[in-house]
Structure 1
Amino acid sequence: MGGVPAKKRERVLRSLRNAGLVANVENSGASVAAAPFAGILAASPVQKAEGVEKFLKDGRIDRYPMGAAERHALLLHVAEHAFRPGEELSEAQVNERLRVFTDDHVTARRYLVDVGILERTRSGTSYALSPQRAEPIVTE
């Protein structure tokens, strides 16, 4: 705690010792006591996200997967939560629903169309879920 006045440093260290968060170590002042933290970590281990959850933070797209299969799964997840089969939506309606999942609704809409999950009408004025949306489109 360089730059902290000695009295304040001692007061802080005393408070931390009283709380059981640091222990005295000869000639070095204090060190972190592992026991309280080990108990806390053991009580609530960090759960590693799996599937599309790896790419979501608070239900919103955090990043897009590099792999086509994972990207398709993420986009399918978004589409299944944002749209209903048989409904036809304007571009503005699609954008509004995608904003729930990302601030970059334009990229999300483009990806959904590119992978065949969302279809645009010939006139380009409306969108609907593709009946073939569950099958990834292979482009090679």
Structure 2
Amino acid sequence: MTAQALAGLLADETRLRVFSAIVLGAATPPEIASATGAKAKDVALALRKLTGGGLVVDDGGELRAATGRFKEVLRSAAGAERTVTDHGTGDERTESLLRTFVDGDRLLGIPSQLVRRRTVLAHLAHRSFRPGERYPERAVNDILRAWSEGSGTDHVAIRRYLIELDVLDRADGHYWLRPEAETAS
């Protein structure tokens, strides 16, 4: 079932009320009719559609909602929309880590574990700064602000982490990739 089909099943007001009554505990057509105020024939029609769509299951005369279908449809829709990004590291563990914390040119968050934090931030630095080039603090702030937008992490904190983790070095208001970090990724 697709997300559109699921939405279509519940788009009809009577079907939505019938499904809601079942979720809330109505287990027979008369109980559903009483709970919804719908006519018996409308309840029967809605049940036929909901059962056919897999949202309602008849367990020996007692109806129950198959709420697990929502999770299945959402997982299916999420899997269809999500593309796997290759960050070019060649290491599946590193790729998995980066997919968790990096989306394109956006930082989704910063790992709390130090080794993972360094891996993610070194990746960010290598994507943003050229080896041997010095950057004024304002340019570094602009680059890191773009990465951190929407992540809940302050660009100043990222800059500080990059220094503390020996990915960037600084002097006289300028920053650059540390030579050791240039070959680390």
Please tell me the residue identity of whatever aligns with 1:85: P
Note the residue ranges of structure 2 that are not aligned, 5 or more in a row: 1-19, 25-34, 85-92
- Contact 1:21/1:32 (<8 A) preserved: yes
| 1:65 counterpart residue number | 111
The number of residues matched between the two structures is 131
The alignment's C-alpha RMSD in Å is 3.8
Counterparts of residues 1-140 of structure 1 (less than 5 Å):
1-2=20-21, 5-7=36-38, 10=43, 13-32=47-66, 37=72, 50-57=96-103, 59-103=105-149, 104-121=154-171, 123=172, 125-133=173-181
Give 1 or 2: higher helix fraction: 2
What is the CA distance between 1:32 and its match in structure 2?
1.6
The structure-2 alpha-carbon separation of the partners of 1:92 and 1:12, relative to structure 1 and needing over 3 Å to count, comes to: farther
* TM-score normalised according to structure 2 size: 0.54
Instruction: Report the TM-score, using the length of structure 1 for normalisation.
Output: 0.68
Structure 1 alignment gaps of length 5 or more: none
Runs of 4 or more, structure 1, over 6 Å off, are 45-49
Preserved CA contact (<8 Å) 1:86 1:128 = yes
Are 1:13 and 1:30, in contact at CA under 8 Å, matched by a contact in 2?
no
The offset of 1:53, in angstroms, is 2.3
